[in-house]
Structure formats: C-alpha cells, structure tokens
Amino acid sequence: MTGHLKSWPIVLALSILSAPLVLMYAYLFIDTFTNAPPGSFIPNEFTLEHWTFLWHTPPGRLSIWRVTLNSLMFATSTATLVVVVSSMAGYVLSRLNVPARGFFLAGVMVLHAFPAITLIVAIFLVLQIVGLYNTLIGVILVKAAIDMPLGIWLMKGFYDTVPWEIEMAGIQDGASRFTVWRKLVLPQVKPGIFALGLFAFLLGWGEFILPQVLAPSGNAQVLSVYLAALIADDNNFDMALFKSVGLFYIAPVLILFFFFQSYLMNIYGGGTKG
Amino acid sequence: MRILLDKFSKSFGDVRVIEDMTLEIKDGEMLALLGPSGCGKSTTLFAICGIHKVTGGRILFGDRDMTGVPSQERNVGVVFQSYALYPHMTVAENIAFPLRIRKLPEAEVKRQMEEMANLVHIEALLDRRPAELSGGQQQRVALARALVRRPNVLLLDEPLANLDAKLRLEMRSEIRRIQLETGITAILVTHDQVEAMSMCDRIAIMNAGEIIQIATPQEMYRNPRTAFVAGFLGNPPIAFIEAEARGGMLAVKDADIRLPMPANATTPPDGTPVIVGIRPENLGRDGDAPIRGRISFVETQGRENLYDLTLANGSVLRSIQRESDDVSLNDEVEWRVRSDQLFLFAQNGERL
Ligand SMILES: Nc1ncnc2c1ncn2[C@@H]1O[C@H](COP(=O)(O)OP(=O)(O)OP(=O)(O)O)[C@@H](O)[C@H]1O
Ligand SMILES: [Mg+2]
C-alpha cells in the first residue's frame, strides 16, 4: 500500500467514524467473558458464568442446543425450498412459453414488493386451521413463500444470461428438456444458486417476526425468539446472559461471511462466470 | 441420407417467412443455402432440425416423414454460428455428451469420442475448456460434437462468420474435407457467395423466402436464371446496364453503344427494354463489341486491377484486368466486351 499517501486522511476519518461500532462489538465480546464491579465498565475478572447456558438448561426453558437446531433447520429448510423452487420457476419464466407468462412475472414482482407482514393475521388463522400453528414446518413454509418471489426474480435474471443456443444444441444432441436444464443450464447459473442459497439461509437465520408470531413457544422455538424471551423475562433478567446468547446467535453469520465474502463480492462485481 | 422439403411453409404469426418451398438434398451432398440477410435461411435450417414447427408441408429424411418428430429423435447435427459449446465441460466431455445421452457404454463413448477428435485434429486439446480455445479450435469441437453420433444430416448455420479471414480459408477446406471423409449429407447456410461456391456441390439461392435457382456453382455462375442470381454470385460483382432491342442488336440507352445479341438468348421484339449484365472479367482488351467510356475508379488488387468504366449515359461497368500501367484515372478508353458472355434479362429480372 505504499504510494497511497493521499488516502490516509480518508482512512483516518473512516476509522474515527467507525470506532464506536468497533468498540461496541469489542465490548460485547469482552463483556460476555468477564465481570465488572458494580458501577464500572472496566472488567476485573474473567469468568465463564455467562456461557453456562450452553451446558445448563434453566427450568422452564428449552435447551439452547435444541433451539439452535431449530434455527438451523428453519434456515436450511427455507433456503432449500427457496432454491429448489426458484431455480425451477426462474427457468420456466425465463425460457418456456407458458400461458400468462407476463401475468406471472408481474404477479411475482408485486408479491416481492408486498409487505408480507400485513398478511400475518391471515397466515396465523390459516396455520391454525390446518394445524401447523406452533410447528416448525408451518413457519418454514410461510418464510419460504415470502422469500420466493425475490429468489425467482434473481434466478430468472441468471437464466436470461445463458445463451439460447446452448439449450438448442443440447436438444439436438438428443437430451430431453429436463436433462438440458439439469446438465447444461443449471451449471451455468451455479453462482446464482449459491448466492440465493446463502441469502435465504441468512434471512431465515435472522428472521424474528414470523417465528415469534407463528411458533412462539413449544418445541419450535428458534434462536431469535429464544433471545427475545430472555428480555421479556422480568423475573430473572440477566443482561450478560442476553449478550452471550446474542453473540452465540450471530457467530454463524459472521463465520459464513468470513468464508464466503470473496465469493459474494465476486457475484456483486458482475462475476457471473460459469 | 436424402432430405426432402415438400411444399414447406413457415410463418411466425402473421409474418409469412417461407411459402411452399420444395427442396431436395441428395444423399452425401453438401448444399449451400445462399441468400441475403433475412431471406429465411436460418428459418429453413431450424425447421429441418425441429427447433421450429413447420406451418405447412412435409419434411422427409429418406422415406421417413419427420414433420412431427421431436428434435431429439431426428438425429440432426447442428453447428451454430456461436458454436454453443457447453462452457462447463471439457472438450472431451463436450464431444462425448451426445453419446452419454444415448447411454452408450463408457468404453464405446471414449473410443468414438477419440476417433472424432482425431478426425477434426483436436486430440491435444481434449482436457481444455471451451474458454481456453481459439475460435477455429472451438469450431472444430462444435463439428466433432455434431458429427459424433453419426447424424442423418449436418446443418451448419454460418459456421465461418466469426472467424478472421485467414482462418476462414483454412476452415473452409477443413469442413469440406470432413464432410467428404464422413460422406454425410450437409446443408451450409451462408450469405457469402465465395463460401457457397468453394465448399458445396450445389447451391440453392434464396430471396425473400423463395428458392430462385438450384444448381452447381459453375452452372449457376455461367447460367444464372435471374438478374438477382447473377448479381449475387461473383466478386467483384456483375454490372447491369439498361438497353433496348433494336434490329437484332442491343442499343444501350442514351449512349452510342451497340452490342450484339448473345447467342444463347431469345431475341426480344424490337423496342423491348432489357437489362444487360456484364461480368467484370468479360470487359477488357479483347472481345468483339467495343464500348467507350471514361475510367472513373481504379483499384489495385496486386495481381489484378479493378476499373470502373463510366459510360456516356452515366451507368458504370466494372472491369478486372491483369495489372498494367497504361491507363489511369479519367482516361477515355475503348474496351471490348465478349458478347457471347453477356446476360440478357427482362425488366422483371427474368433471364431471356
Ligand atoms: N421468431 C420470429 N418471429 C417473427 N419473425 C421471425 C422470427 N424469426 C425470424 N423471423 C423473420 O423471418 C425472416 C427470416 O429470418 P431468418 O432468421 O431465417 O433469416 P436469415 O436468412 O437466416 O438471415 P441472416 O442471414 O441475417 O441470418 C426475417 O424477416 C425475420 O424477421
Ligand atoms: Mg440466420
């Protein structure tokens, strides 16, 4: 980075501006492993007591591992559903001559722009009637349905860039339309599938309102709901515990970003290389 | 395999692209579909391979009616203009794809794939991906992939359009060599008359969805059926001048030039306006009918010079001659035409 002397004022300004954020994160991290004397912010002892929730389940709460597993299942299932359906629907909308194609495209667009939260009461009723209220499957279906329009549009965009001749060549080579899609077209949109899967997973992992309303208690609780329950619990409110669970909750997200950041950058940089 | 288009028609909605076209391609023959842009060449090709459904008529492969048969079962090899190689597969996988689709045993796939790679000379490139190949190499891979399953017919849609001039020359003879070696029936779509003449057994010349003439390249060049055909073949192109039949001679309009009636033309009645076509190689120092004019353009092509000769009435003739220094721009000259090589057309373009 030599020779970039002019950039130091910018770096300085950015550092000063982002310092509070960095400090907050650092403090969050330190705070979960230490105790501070009353009235002070400076920690004076190292402790693991705030992390005891990992191996000790207080009465009346679900085990943290059970909740984590729920979150994981919720996020992976919605991501899988979204990816599978979007990768097919996107292809159909991009390539096949389906009746009312324009209507579907516009419809998907409207659905995407539609604030799904306004439907929550109706969804709540529907889930209760079909008996999926307070179940993981119920929220998974709802979440996947809400994320799908975005996924379909994203995948349609990726399919649109695949040359038409490749498919025709595949057909001439004797492959069925389905084989052409799976063996020839799908590999060209792999970056899209991957990005969509990752986003859908992160969206699912971070989702709070839907599980909170549709699966608030019982065995279907996910991490975000668990966390919210901690604050709401007036009897034994524990700030440090809340912070620890919070850190535990965002750790997978940070890890994912750490591993895939270069990949995601590449996609946003227009790098849709097959 | 013999291919027959029997009164084939194709329209897109209201747009009638091709109507009642009948075309036969003989077994083992390479036929060029030659015509200007938008005349329906690709449409014809796509109808043969099944990408487009025909709106009328029949398509026969041998004796089998293929009109309603889906693309996958027609066994047609297509080389697209953009080659359409599968970017995520290696060259070997690209060529083997049609065989794997047929679920041939792996040993057989490998054997046929290698045989085909040898035929098109790409043995050394089998592990590369298409992005790591030059244009000419990609072209060879596309050919190999189209030929590997021994198709009934090979269709080539402007296969040379994306190559540079030198490579085009090379691939021209390569494609012809491969076609002759495999003995496959092939249709080449092109709008380049040189390609059509040099690569194919016969040329079908098309205009606005109609076949104007089908003949061997020599026959078509020597004996064009219409002014359109005459104008399409030959480089530099033929020049046309307006004239009138008068007393068994052709009087060039508004100029003091008389040309004898070509022997092979039917003599039109006196006063009939006609169009005379003169190819550049038939206007020069030797010949039997003199033509006077002014040299309005000289182009040196190395071995030969190309001249534009402007007549008294303003029309322009072209002449190609051995390179020489004795005439220059704006000189008045009297050159000669070989009258037996003239073409005579009626006003509507039909040959007389
Ligand atoms: N899908 C379509 N819908 C409507 N019209 C079409 C369609 N495809 C082709 N056409 C029309 O059919 C005519 C012939 O098209 P075609 O592609 O066969 O031309 P071509 O001879 O291959 O020309 P080029 O040399 O430019 O490739 C054109 O006028 C074109 O506008
Ligand atoms: Mg075309």
CB atoms inside a 10 Å sphere around CB A197: 19
Q: What gap in Å lies between CA A34 and CA B269, rounded to an integer?
A: 115
Q: Which residues of B touch A175 (CB under 8 A)?
A: 72, 97, 101
* C-alpha closest to that of A159 among A112, A103, A105: A105
Place of tokens 């055909």: B229
Residue B91 CA neighbour count, 13 Å, CB half: 26
Interval A93-139: pLDDT, tens: 998 888 888 888 888 888 878 787 788 888 899 999 998 888 899 99
Residue A120's SS3 state is helix
Inter-chain residue contact A179 with B78, CB threshold 8 Å: no
Inter-chain residue contact A174 with B84, CB threshold 8 Å: no
* C-alpha closest to that of B221 among B212, B208, B230: B230
Q: What gap in Å lies between CA B54 and CA B31, rounded to an integer?
A: 21
Mean pLDDT of B99-103: 93
Residue A238 is predicted with a pLDDT of: 77
Beta-bridge partners for B56? B9
Token representation of residue A266:
């590449």
Residue B242 is predicted with a pLDDT of: 87
Contacts of B303 (CB under 8 A, 6+ apart): B322, B323
Residue A5 is predicted with a pLDDT of: 66
Torsion over CA: B98, B100, B106, B110 (sign) = positive
The yes/no answer on whether domain A58-269 falls in CATH 1.10.3720.10 is yes
Q: What gap in Å lies between CA B97 and CA B82, rounded to an integer?
A: 18
Return the amino acid letter for B260.
P
Chain B nearest C-alpha distance from A270 (Å): 18
Domain ranges of chain A: 2-47, 58-269
* Beta strand residue intervals within B62-184, DSSP E: 64-65, 76-79, 153-157
CB atoms inside a 10 Å sphere around CB A138: 23
Beta-bridge partners for B61? B3, B64
Residue A272 is predicted with a pLDDT of: 41
Interval B139-182: pLDDT, tens: 999 999 999 988 989 999 988 888 888 888 888 898 899 899 88
Residue B326 is predicted with a pLDDT of: 80
Q: Cis omega before residue B130 (within 30°)? A: no
Place of tokens 């991957």: A194
Interval B4-58: pLDDT, tens: 999 999 999 888 999 889 999 999 999 999 999 889 999 999 999 998 899 989 9
Q: How far, in Å, from the CA of B125 to the mean position of ligand 1?
A: 35
Interval B241-289: pLDDT, tens: 888 888 778 888 777 788 888 877 777 788 788 888 999 988 888 888 8
Mean pLDDT of B95-123: 93
Residue B96's pLDDT band, with cuts at 50, 70 and 90, is: very high
Q: What gap in Å lies between CA A134 and CA A225, rounded to an integer?
A: 12
Domains of chain B and any CATH numbers? 3-223 (3.40.50.300), 239-345 (2.40.50.140)
The angle subtended at Cα A256 by Cα A253 and Cα A261, nearest 5°, is 115
DSSP H/E element including A46:
strand A45-46
Q: Which residue owns the Cα nearest ligand 1 atom 25?
A: B37
Q: Between A101-113 and A136-160, two packed helices, what is the crossing angle to 10 degrees?
A: 120
Q: What gap in Å lies between CA B243 and CA B289, rounded to an integer?
A: 15
| Average pLDDT of chain B, as a whole number | 89
Interval B307-325: pLDDT, tens: 898 888 888 889 888 887 7
DSSP H/E element including B334:
strand B332-337
Contact B276, B311 (CB under 8 A): no
Residue B117 is predicted with a pLDDT of: 92
Contacts of B224 (CB under 8 A, 6+ apart): B213, B230, B233, B277, B343, B351
Q: Taking the model in full, what pTM does it have?
A: 0.80
Residue A274 is predicted with a pLDDT of: 36
In terms of DSSP bridges, do strands B30-34 and B15-25 run parallel, antiparallel, or are they unpaired?
unpaired
Token representation of residue B41:
């060449």
ipTM for the complex shown: 0.79
User: Which of B50, B80, B149 is facing A169, going by the closest CB pair?
Assistant: B80
- Ligand 1: does its nearest atom lie under 6 Å from the Cβ of B209? no
Interval B204-233: pLDDT, tens: 999 988 899 999 999 999 889 999 999 988
User: Which of B76, B82, B102 is facing A172, going by the closest CB pair?
Assistant: B76
Which of B43, B45, B78 is the mutation pick for testing A, counting most A CBs within 10 A? Answer: B78
DSSP H/E element including B204:
strand B202-207
Interval B290-305: pLDDT, tens: 888 888 888 888 888 8
Q: What gap in Å lies between CA B224 and CA B212, rounded to an integer?
A: 10
Q: What are the mean pLDDT values of chain A's consecutive 10-residue runs (274 residues total)?
A: 71 91 87 81 81 79 87 95 94 87 86 81 90 90 91 92 91 92 92 90 91 84 88 77 88 86 63 39
